[in-house]
Structures are given as structure tokens and as C-alpha cells.
Structure 1
Amino acid sequence: MQPPVETREVWLRGPLPDMPPLLQPIAHALMQAQEELHILMQGFPDNLLWERPANVASVGFHLQHLTGVLDRLLTYARTEALSPEQLAALAAEGKPGAPIPTVQELIQQFDMQVNKALTQLRETKEETLTETRGVGRAQLPSTVIGLLTHAAEHTMRHIGQLSVTVRVIPQVRNRRRET
């Protein structure tokens, strides 16, 4: 007996409608990251967002970075330069800012960025996937498929790091209280 579709990982639920076949794995990875993020962050308190156990990146940083990197890589894939707002967001990653965002606000920002990414993937013509794209100020060479693949891979990498940090912070905090 097979498990219900909604309990399977996204890539095992079948093709996404209106998604170019070659971009399905990228869309699946982004959607999987989104689902895992929601599960990981359930009940995570706002007051622990900027804790850095063992001097690793904070949960707040990962949430900001997930959104920011996805935005920047998709911008490069469209052959656009980063806007002043994107550069400001990059400079602010890892800093709470004012007003200090909540866990839910950071999750909502990531959700919006994933939705933008899925829209862009749906609109990407497969014949453009091998076209060269420049990355960053130095315009390092990549391709559309390279940028989109890296966007998914980088997102999942940070979900993994976030998963560990979310689990460690409460334990570190409890140990501090015990001593």
C-alpha cells in the first residue's frame, strides 16, 4: 500500500502543472524546502531568532539568507543587475534590523520568494537554459540552468543548516539555565 500523496516528498508527488519538464526538479526542491521550513519553525520563539550557539549563523540569518539568495540568483537568471533594495537586503542579512522581524514574518517573506521563483520557473523557456548569465559584480560565468539549480541546491543546504541550529538553540539555552 502506498502512502497518501501529501505525505510523500514533493518530488514523488508527480509533475507540477505548467512547469517545464527540465525545471521540475528545481521546483520540487524549492517546494520541499518550503514545507520543511514550515515544519522546522513550528513553535520556534521569536526571542531566539538571533541566538548564535557556538558562534554559528543564527536562525534569523538563515531565514533572511534563504529569501535573499533565492531572489538574487533568480535576478541573475533574468539577466538583471541587483537593485539598491536587494543590495541593502544583502548587507542586512544576519542583523535583526528595526523593527525586529518575527519568525512568521521571515517565513512569509520566504514563502513569497518561493512563489515568485515558481512563477519564474514556469515562465522560463527550456531553450534558454544553456544561455550564459553573469553572476555578481564580477559577472562570473554561469548559465540559466546553473543559476536555477544552484538556487535550489543552496536553499536546501541552508534548510539543513537551519534544521540543526533550530534543534541546538533550545538545548544550549536550557544548559545555560542549569548552570
Structure 2
Amino acid sequence: MENEKSREVWLRGPLPEIPLLLQPAAHALLQSKEEVFKYTEGFNEALLWEKPAGRANVAFHLQHITGVLDRMLTYAECKSLAEIQFEYLRKEGVENRDVKIANLKKAFAEKVEEALLIFKNTSEAALTEKRTVGRKKLPSSVIGLYFHAAEHSQRHIGQMLVTISVLENKNW
């Protein structure tokens, strides 16, 4: 019999207390969380800030998925970004050898858990409420913001995997 943990998150069944319409976003975020830990297991921290072919480094991807998730959750609450969020955004990918991969992974895992708690407390009726994004107040909705956070994290996990593979010459 196949181990349930070996299946992708979306094939493990519904997540308790998560509204039906948010199940795909929750599954994608949990998949991202698992893959962050899987793909960075044993990663050589000395390579964290390396940019193969001038592309984004592993640190950027880890910082960025956490930052985007945080920003999308803020917009979904109909709030503007705080200065601390702008400061975080400015530092995404900026080399800082004091930053450790364990801390980046922990920060993302915690932000995913925060998102799931928010999802649990979001009514399906609220999902179509209009929201705006950024200083330009671009149009979106609660569900649009949640789904963007989820798919965006998946995209960066894929890019991070390729970066790690190139840096460590791994064949996944």
C-alpha cells in the first residue's frame, strides 16, 4: 500500500476546516512547504547567495515566497503594507551572510500555518469581496489574492529546485 505522505498534498484528501473553495490554495501552500524542506535538505549553505547564470539565488526564492504570502494576506484583509513589510521587500535577495537557511525555511513554514488559520476563518461568501493590490490599487479579490500567493509559491519552488540542482549538480 502506498504511503499517504508520498502522495502530493492535493491527493491526500480535504483539509479539515478549510472552506471547499480554498482547498486548492491550502494544498498548494502545504505542498510548497514540504518541498522547501525536501529540496533544501543537506543544501550547502555556502551556496545560499550564489546566482547561477545571474539568476535569483536560493535565499531570494525563500525570502520572496514568504514575503509574497505575507503581502497577499495583508491585502486580503483590506490593509495597506506596513513599513516593516516594505523593508522586508527591499531586502529580498540582498546578500546577508548572517541569514541562515534554517531561519528562512522556518519563516516560510510559519507563514503557511498563518495562512491556513486565516483560510479556516474565511467564509466562502467573503472570497469574492473586492480587494486592491499595492499603491496603484490594482483590482483583485480575496480569493484572487489567496490563489496568487499559492501559485506564486509553487512557481518559485520550481525555480529554486532548478537553482539548487545547478549549484549542486544534482539530478532530481
Residue in 2 aligned with 1:133? 131
Question: Across the two proteins, how many residue pairs are aligned to each other?
Answer: 170
The aligned counterpart of 1:157 is: 155
2:120 to 116, 119, 122: 122
Greater Rg over alpha carbons, structure: 1
Deviations 1:104-162 (A, max 9, x none): 11100111111111111111111011111000011100011111111111000000000
* Alignment gaps of 5+ in structure 2: none
- 2:146: which partner in 1? 148
Partner residue of 1:174?
A: none
* Structure 2 counterparts to residues 35-114 of structure 1, below 5 A: 35-97=34-96, 100-114=98-112
Residue segments in structure 1 that go unaligned for 5+ positions in a row = 172-179
TM-score, normalised via structure 1 length: 0.92
State the distance in 1 between where 2:95 and 2:124 align.
39
Query: Matched residues, percent identical?
Result: 51
Q: Is the 8 A contact 1:45 1:103 kept in 2?
A: no
SS at match of 2:99: coil
Partner of 1:16: 15
4+ residue segments displaced more than 3 Å: none
